[in-house]
Amino acid sequence: MSAPCITTLTPVHSPRLIASTDKIRAPRISPDGTRIIYEVQPFYRQERSTCALWIVEAGVDVESSVGPKTLTDGEWNDRAAAWLPDGKRVLFLSNRAGKSVNIYMMDVGSRSIVPVFREGEDVGAGVAAFEISPDGRTVAFTSPDAASAEGLERAKTKDDAKVYGEKTRLARLRVCDLESGAIRTLRVRRDMHVESFSWSQSGKELVYRLRENRGTEYSSFQVVLEKIAADDARGGETEPVILGKYHHTPSGSTILTATGHIIELQSYDASRLLDARSLFVHAPNASFQSYLTSDPEAVTRLYGVKDDAVRLVDLGGNADTGYVAVEVSAGVDTHIDIVRTTARGGAEVMHTVFATRDDAIWFGAWDARRILGVDGRAEFMFAGVLSSGPRHEPPNVHVCRVEGDLKVDDHRPIAAVKLSSHLQWLLDAPAIRTQVLQWTSNDGIQLDGMVRFPPGYDDAQGALPTVLFIHGGPYRRDIPDYMPYFCNWREMLASAGYLVISPNYRGSQGRGHEFAAAAGLGIGVLDWPDCEGMLDEAIKRGWADPERLGVAGWSHGGSLTAWGIAKTKSRFKAAVVGAGVANWEGMVMESASPELEVEIGQRNPWSAPCSHRKISPVHDLHGVTTAVLILHGERDERVPVGQAIGLYRGLKRVAAKEGRETAQLVLYPREPHGFVEQKHAEDVMHRVLKHFHIHM
């Protein structure tokens, strides 16, 4: 028998608290491993974006260490801190001098801050990214050229017509001598955009990637990999060397190890856009073609069969050995591995320095270091922002250490010690029972997802009103974390009395090549049946009330929501489509990533004959009774706002009477795909709560 409706419009995990909370991110370990700098930033801005730098001790005896302290007060947008090799100073990005972003240097002991660049130097139009050389003498950075006097005048008089695809504001690779503050722009070709760069582990070279233009669209086309000697960075006259080309932009930076190997993250099948990520290791002096292939004869490939390599951290090395740390997604868990390259061989996984257990790392918020002790022995250190739904622990900085001579077969569970105590309100809120659910799909595939129950729920209470909350991506996953935000309504809805289920459908991250590449079959082929399969399992277990079902998601989660209501017509009482796709041909024509949208939607409007075109949700809205709330930012380039307007117009014209009368569209001025303004973030969550409360 179903439990009475216990939903509320005022959960403890309230829209006001969520919209006004901070996010903890970007921990960076000092060279000696005794301190960690990290960022504390409001999730959403009131007037302008701000961010504060914090520091916490992380010595061997972390239990007795001093708690976190602020380094900067949060008045400016201070971010992306990086330690200099002396361990006494850090560089960071900030807008504290005005609108343009520049690099600043802080003496951590005295808190004194000075600009890095000498006055009058050509910085360009604001720094996008930087990296310090291994010897600490030089900082490399990218910035577009500053606008010309003619360009400024044209902008002032509004004589500013844009030619679509014109190469403007391309990033240049520049270097600054940290002693003098002098800047040099490197002789990298000026007709291409520098989209990534890094120092070699030896410090003798810079390796960088070039693409045809700066827009997201161009990340799906071939990318050129080059290197330039550090002598050029310090005033020499060497020429860049072309190393190879990639089918499309790899994830993160390309790393040139001290042993001459080149490492990057690419799709397991290097030619595919929708696939698991794998760690590619190219031998020294690898052929030009090795960067375009997944052939094991030409390149070493680690991870990507049953798990996914999703982020790299450069750990340095010497002439004999190079080291990188790798974040690996495996099901709903994550582990950080150390991979080394050797001068005599290829690459191998040494051991695991950290593995989640009923917790999760916040979106790439971790760092690793290889530290040499006074006795010459090495150890590896991990610092990460961890949270746990099952243990009711909000995100905070944690740390652990591992001896450097362990082998991969020797690794054992290592507990991470908590160093910070932010987000107390999440700790004080009622605990939400969070657990993994596994089930088998109709075609025999073992699947998993996360279930979140209302506070205090007991199985004897019976079935609950249930929201199927679908993650975006599609190459993302739902894990046992604990951090609500404007488009992640899991905890808020559970706190309001709903059962919330979140499937890791085929196309998601964490299950390797075949699982992730299933997204390339097209939306609705396997992903939506997997989502409904989890819902059926929750009903079978007596948790979900089949008469009170809702579905929701943002981005690709919103796209699957639109797909689901069009296909099921009346299974769901209510739905929320956040920044979702309703017309896949329109997405290819208007989105910032047309090649990716062709892969997901399997619709190519300029090549496929009409008879071969698949149906989008807007083509199949007849008879829909579900009450649909559509939420969208007016400046969304990832999923243009016309998708929301088209879905709304279709529902108002051809849905069943109930669907026509209850359809609602809310647009948010100035907002991109991920919202940035606090009032808008809060409004989104209030509307979601109200919509489900009324219709379920």
- Written as one letter, the residue type at 637 is E
Mean pLDDT of the chain: 92
Phi, psi of 139 (to 5 degrees): -120, 130
Of residues 228, 272, 227, the one with CA closest to residue 248: 272
Helix, strand or coil, per DSSP, at residue 96: coil
Per residue in 389-420, is it b (16+ CB within 10 Å) or e — as a string? bbebbbbbbbbbbbebebeeeebeeeebeebb
Residues of the chain with confidence (pLDDT) below 70? 1-6, 60-65, 232-237, 404-413, 610-614
Q: How far apart are CA 564 and CA 569, in angstroms?
A: 8
Rounded to the nearest angstrom, the gap between the alpha carbon of residue 462 and the centroid of all alpha carbons in its chain is: 37
User: What's the 3-state SS for 135-171?
Assistant: CCCEEEEEEECCCCHHHHHHHHCCCCCCCCCCCCCCE
Query: Percent of the chain at pLDDT above 70?
Result: 95
The CB density around residue 562, as the number of other CB atoms within 10 Å, is 31
pLDDT, one tens digit per residue, over 483-499 is 999 999 999 999 999 99
Q: How far apart are CA 585 and CA 606, in angstroms?
A: 9
| Structure tokens, 143 | 């910035």
Of residues 473, 505, 514, 517, the one with CA closest to residue 273: 517
Structural domains of the chain in order of their starting residue, each with its CATH number = 430-695 (3.40.50.1820)
pLDDT of residue 510: 96
| Structure tokens, 687 | 């509307």
* pTM tops 0.85, yes or no: yes
Helix, strand or coil, per DSSP, at residue 628: strand
Task: Please state whether beta strands 664-668 and 434-440 pair in parallel, antiparallel, or not at all (unpaired).
Answer: unpaired
Q: For residue 378, what are the CA distances in angstroms to 32, 257, 277, 317, 337?
A: 11, 18, 29, 12, 16
| Structure tokens, 650 | 């279709």
| Structure tokens, 455 | 């506070």
End-to-end alpha carbon distance in the chain? 17
**CA triple 642-601-192, angle to 5 deg:** 80
pLDDT of residue 75: 93
| Sheet of strand 321-330, all strands in order from the earlier edge strand to the far edge | 308-317, 321-330, 333-342, 347-355
pLDDT, one tens digit per residue, over 268-300 is 999 999 999 999 999 888 877 778 877 777 789
The DSSP letter of residue 77 is: B
Helix, strand or coil, per DSSP, at residue 567: helix
Q: Is cis: bond before 672, omega within 30 of 0?
A: no
pLDDT of residue 344: 83
User: What's the 3-state SS for 380-409?
Assistant: EEEEEEEEECCCCEEEEEEEEEEECCCCHH
pLDDT of residue 494: 97
Q: How far apart are CA 397 and CA 35, in angstroms?
A: 12
Residue with tokens 């047309």: 594
Specify whether the CB–CB gap between 570 and 587 falls below 8 A: no
Q: How far apart are CA 534 and CA 231, in angstroms?
A: 58
| Structure tokens, 377 | 């022995």
